[in-house]
Amino acid sequence: MMIPIFRSSDTKSVKRILRSGETQLKKAEAAAQRILNDVRRDGDRALQRWTLQLDKMDLAREGFTVKRREIVKAYRQVPEGFVDAVETSARNIRKAAREQLPRAWQISNGAGIEISQILRPLDRVACYVPGGRFPLPSTVLMSVVPAQVAGVEEIFITSPRPAPAVLVTADILGVKKIFRLGGAQAIGAFAYGTESVPRADKIVGPGNRFVAAAKRLVAGDCGIDFVAGPSELLVVASEGHADWIASDLVAQAEHDPDAVAIFLTPSRKLALEVQGAVEKILQEVFAGETDVPAKALSGHGAVVVTKNLDEAIELVNAFAPEHLTLLNGASRMLDRVRSAGSIFLGETSPVAAGDYASGTNHILPTAGAARLRGGLSAADFVKTISVQELTPHGLGRIRKTITTLARTEGLKAHAYSIETRFKVHGSTPKGR
């Protein structure tokens, strides 16, 4: 299987590849809705049925949560140096997360009118960690650390068959409870609550298209970060090392058969070189041991030959990718990028650096959601609350403004609530 090449003038192919993530999500919603309805109605019994059917795991026998002895055993199963790697990555992520927090502030809108903003963390958060073909301790780091920086008291991990690396990472970070739940049923459990699973204020983390669809469907009942489904990468370059570009495309395709990996270039020569390099890397790295990257690249990947870099950036903004790499001359076009989850500038800034340890968060919006917001941050785990305090003099200063606007809107009681404070025994209100 080969990653296809087509020109940007082939609008049908461009549209298909740029919208593949959204199409996959819509197709998954019906199945996710059925599972969510079952969980909402039957609680633990539905979780047991769906987990047995989809994950081949008996929760009645194994339990909903991981036991301490399993975590102790997991420490003996992770590779040498793993704990140090987790601690280094956590340190970098924590440093960035502190900068992401909104700030408390207080200002005066004139004499007697003080307004301010205070911050309060969420009480309970569920962090979804995909199971799939690979353990993802990095997702534990990316979801738990920002929540801790924000001050969230109860942080849970949920993952189908959590791998030893996931258990050890969660333990290093101090997570007290890890659930053996995955898929749309896990999202339903934390969105609605069951006998064994507490309802969360917010569910965060990436997942397959069914997890992403379930998060979208429960958004009215529970907070979510955003839709974080199958991974996406757009690379833009007019020149560069074909092997390096191809390696990033293959790395992206390694995640999932539904992963999207696209290279945009005005250079036909570079397009052909990258196509060839992709084939070489698939053979050298995987040697037939898995066909997942090849399936992703042939089904949801492409090399698109554009008229110029300007057109490539227009396509980037139309797609709003989860990951965007700008190489060489394209790096100078950063100020023209309006929508992307995370941007990587230059040839020695591979996406894998952000996936693990540079400090930025790898939980990012997909399927066009980057048009609306950026990636997960500590700000997602706090509430900003406005506070105001007016003295009698301050209220008097804006009395007419308030009553005029209230009466214009036809809200007489609003106006009365102001005027009555100036009719206390025929005088102005008392106070400081």
User: How many Cα atoms occupy the beta-carbon half-sphere of 237 within 13 Å?
Assistant: 27
Does residue 38 lie in a domain region? no
- pLDDT the model gives residue 19: 73
Could you tell me if 235 and 288 lie in one domain?
yes
Domain count, the chain: 3
Could you tell me if 188 and 87 lie in one domain?
yes
Does residue 274 lie in a domain region? yes
Q: What is the 3-state secondary structure (H, E, C) of 217-270?
A: HHCCCCEECCCCCCCEEEEECCCCCHHHHHHHHHHHHCCCCCCEEEEEECCHHH
Query: What's the mean per-residue pLDDT of the chain?
Result: 93
Out of 185-189, 206-210, 370-374, least confident range = 206-210
Residues carrying an active site annotation: 322-323
pLDDT above 70 coverage of the chain, percent: 97
Does residue 113 lie in a domain region? no
Asked whether residue 34 carries a pLDDT value surpassing 70, the answer given is: yes
The label of the residue with tokens 């959204």 reads 22
Residues 76-101: tens digit of each pLDDT: 999 999 999 999 999 999 999 999 99
- pLDDT the model gives residue 75: 98
Domain span at residue 80 reads 43-102+120-228
| Residue 6 near residue 302, CB atoms below 8 Å | yes
Instruction: List beta partners, residue 232.
Output: 260
Burial class (CB in 10 A: 0-12, 13-18, 19+), 84: exposed
| Residue 215 near residue 365, CB atoms below 8 Å | no
Does residue 32 lie in a domain region? no
Confidence of residue 2 (pLDDT cuts 50, 70, 90): confident
DSSP of 19-40: THHHHHHHHHHHHHHHHHHHHH
- pLDDT the model gives residue 236: 97
Asked whether residue 427 carries a pLDDT value surpassing 60, the answer given is: no
Q: Which one-letter DSSP state was computed for residue 256?
A: -
Nearest alpha carbon to residue 394 among 418, 371, 376, 424: 418
- pLDDT the model gives residue 227: 83
